């Protein structure tokens, strides 16, 4: 949907590029913010399978409404109904995102199948990007080659094709949902507990007495009311997630500003191959199809075999953020070059370097990041913490909306440079927080090991000793 949405809003509904970009990123925001609602239902009330099934009905209704409202005889005055249908799609899709990722991951027995779990997250992203690749090829092709209602671009045909693929997916999911493991639900509403913890800590921080010792982190004010493990897990993950919306603000612009950049370029590759502007970004998934198996089955095993080195998730996330920042520096340089040339004279293949760098960022950041969020979460919060990962994506889209509304930049090149710079700044903050996370993990492990030496533990409890798989170095 995101592939053609910006052009649909600009060309068919006659909105400006700026407004089209804002609507697209608001759509993305709801799609990435709503996982928290589906995750709460999945963890505390319904389980992942029933939550997915319920929200899919809302999802399907959104598609049907969009097809109806896109028909031209209804008139362009029904932009409100188009927006409403987009909202149903975003909420329906978003509320299942964390549930889908967690449902697959919950089928593995940890720690016995830790290796298979890591492969699952790689395959999850691989299949996810198969869908993205098809969406960047087929909808623009249908839009450009099918004519209807005396219009050059037939968006009702595009929406009908996408809706058909969704309903096919719904059928397949319903056929397989009886084979999943039985889910154990949390005994309390995790979101309410999280909200209560944050509220209590902030209230105590703002109203604290002068003689109260100040904790190292503000959430630790809640330790006298909430159990240590819950507060510590929430505070550690919250700090690490803090800079990530900047990354997702960059990733989301493939479907908006990078698409508009492609529309300024020459998309004719040969006498027989002419791309649509919204097809150019299909090169991103192609890179990821190559990078995921190459990284998972060649680079990582070779590094471990030859150097006895395994890149840790937090190291990988930092490296991915670096590549993402560089991708926008490339985009800014290309945009400046486009301004200096005659219109439509720069070939669209010059976007390849920025897409390669961005997909390297996706490979090294999103895949291990989502795996890290799931594995580090307490058993009662698997879907909620996975949803928190998607929340970073939501706030990333919100960042784009805010900067578009502020209109701080005279041209797109300066805006691309700005995003690259703030990503570098976010990377520095992330490295600092990740280093602190590792130190706290080591301190906790050393304290528990010291206690173990003083008082022998039962073998079954020894298996629960914390072991960090995220240290910055092997020392």
- Say what the pLDDT of residue 462 is: 42
Q: What is the 3-state secondary structure (H, E, C) of 397-415?
A: HHHHHHHHHHCCCCCHHHH
Name the pLDDT band for 469 (thresholds 50, 70, 90).
very low
| DSSP letter assigned to residue 268 | B
Q: Is the pLDDT of residue 475 over 50?
A: no
- Average pLDDT along the chain: 82
- The radius of gyration computed from the CA coordinates of the chain, to the nearest angstrom, equals 24
Who has greater pLDDT, 244 or 412?
Answer: 412
Name the most confidently modeled range: 166-180, 434-448, 461-475: 166-180
Q: Is the pLDDT of residue 18 over 70?
A: yes
Instruction: Give tens-digit pLDDT for 335-391.
Output: 999 999 998 999 999 999 999 999 999 999 988 888 887 777 777 677 777 777 778
- Residue 330's nearest CA partner among 419, 396, 265, 427 is 419
Name the pLDDT band for 329 (thresholds 50, 70, 90).
very high
Distance CA 310, CA 304 (A): 6
Cα end-to-end distance, the chain, whole Å: 47
Name the most confidently modeled range: 2-16, 98-112, 162-176: 162-176
Q: Residue range 197-206: average pLDDT?
A: 78
To the nearest whole percent, how much of the chain has pLDDT over 90?
21
Tokens 């929406």: give the residue. Answer: 159
CB 449 within 8 A of CB 466: no
Name the pLDDT band for 443 (thresholds 50, 70, 90).
low
Distance CA 469, CA 316 (A): 12
Q: Residue range 263-270: average pLDDT?
A: 90
Distance CA 305, CA 299 (A): 10
Q: Residue range 10-16: average pLDDT?
A: 84
Q: Which residues contact 94 (CB under 8 A, 6 or more apart)?
A: 30, 31, 32, 33, 34, 35, 38, 390
Distance CA 432, CA 14 (A): 46
Domains and CATH numbers, the chain: 1-187 (1.20.1250.20), 242-449 (1.20.1250.20)
Q: Residue range 319-341: average pLDDT?
A: 95
Give the tokens for residue 311: 């890149």
Who has greater pLDDT, 258 or 152?
Answer: 258
Helix (H, G, I), strand (E, B) or coil at 274: strand
Hey, how many other C-beta atoms are within 10 angstroms of the C-beta on 256? 24
Helix (H, G, I), strand (E, B) or coil at 340: coil
Q: Residue range 392-405: average pLDDT?
A: 85
- Say what the pLDDT of residue 347 is: 93
Hey, how many other C-beta atoms are within 10 angstroms of the C-beta on 458? 7
Distance CA 78, CA 5 (A): 16
Q: Residue range 461-473: average pLDDT?
A: 37
pTM: 0.73
Name the most confidently modeled range: 293-302, 332-341, 395-404, 461-470: 332-341
Instruction: Give tens-digit pLDDT for 179-195.
Output: 888 887 766 666 677 77
- Say what the pLDDT of residue 189 is: 66
Instruction: Give tens-digit pLDDT for 49-94.
Output: 888 988 999 999 999 988 888 887 655 547 788 888 999 999 998 8
Instruction: Give tens-digit pLDDT for 134-161.
Output: 888 888 888 888 888 777 788 889 999 9
């Amino acid at each position: 949907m995101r592939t053609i949405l910006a052009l649909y809003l600009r060309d068919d509904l006659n909105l400006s590029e700026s407004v089209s970009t804002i609507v697209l990123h608001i759509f993305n925001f709801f799609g990435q913010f709503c996982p928290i609602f589906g995750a709460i239902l999945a963890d505390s009330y319904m389980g992942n399978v029933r939550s997915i099934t319920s929200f899919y009905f809302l999802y399907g209704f959104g598609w049907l409404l969009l097809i109806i409202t896109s028909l031209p005889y209804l008139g362009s005055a029904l932009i409100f109904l188009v927006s409403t249908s987009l909202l149903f799609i975003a909420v329906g899709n978003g509320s299942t995102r964390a549930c889908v990722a967690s449902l697959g991951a919950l089928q593995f027995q940890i720690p016995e199948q830790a290796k298979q779990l890591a492969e699952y997250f790689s395959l999850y992203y691989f299949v996810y990007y198969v869908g993205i690749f098809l969406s960047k090829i087929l909808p623009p092709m249908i839009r450009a080659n099918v004519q209807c209602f005396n219009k050059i671009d037939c968006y009702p045909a595009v929406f009908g094709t996408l809706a058909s693929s969704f309903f096919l997916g719904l059928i397949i999911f319903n056929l397989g949902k009886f084979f999943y493991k039985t889910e154990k639900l949390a005994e309390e509403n995790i979101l309410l507990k999280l909200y209560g913890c944050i509220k209590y800590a902030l209230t105590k921080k703002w109203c604290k007495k002068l003689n109260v010792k100040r904790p190292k982190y503000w959430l630790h004010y809640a330790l006298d009311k909430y159990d240590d493990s819950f507060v510590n897990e929430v505070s550690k993950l919250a700090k690490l997630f803090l800079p990530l919306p900047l990354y997702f603000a960059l990733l989301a612009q493939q479907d908006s500003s990078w698409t508009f950049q492609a529309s300024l370029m020459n998309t004719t590759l040969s006498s027989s191959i002419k791309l649509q502007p919204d097809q150019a970004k299909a090169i991103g998934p192609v890179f990821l199809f190559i990078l995921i198996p190459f990284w998972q089955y060649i680079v990582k095993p070779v590094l471990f075999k030859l150097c006895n080195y395994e890149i840790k998730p937090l190291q990988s996330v930092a490296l991915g953020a670096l590549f993402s920042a560089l991708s926008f520096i490339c985009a800014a340089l290309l945009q400046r070059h486009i301004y200096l040339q005659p219109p439509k004279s720069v070939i669209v293949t010059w976007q390849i370097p920025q897409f390669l760098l961005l997909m390297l960022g996706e490979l090294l950041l999103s895949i291990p990041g989502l795996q890290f969020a799931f594995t580090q979460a307490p058993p009662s919060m698997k879907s909620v913490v996975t949803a928190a990962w998607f929340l970073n994506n939501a706030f990333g889209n919100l960042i784009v909306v805010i900067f578009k509304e502020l209109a701080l930049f005279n041209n797109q090149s300066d805006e691309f440079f700005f995003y690259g710079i703030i990503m570098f700044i976010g990377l520095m903050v992330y490295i600092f927080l990740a280093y602190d996370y590792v130190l706290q993990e080591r301190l906790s492990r050393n304290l528990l090991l010291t206690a173990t030496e003083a008082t022998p533990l039962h073998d079954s409890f020894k298996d629960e000793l914390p072991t960090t798989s995220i240290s910055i170095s092997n020392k």
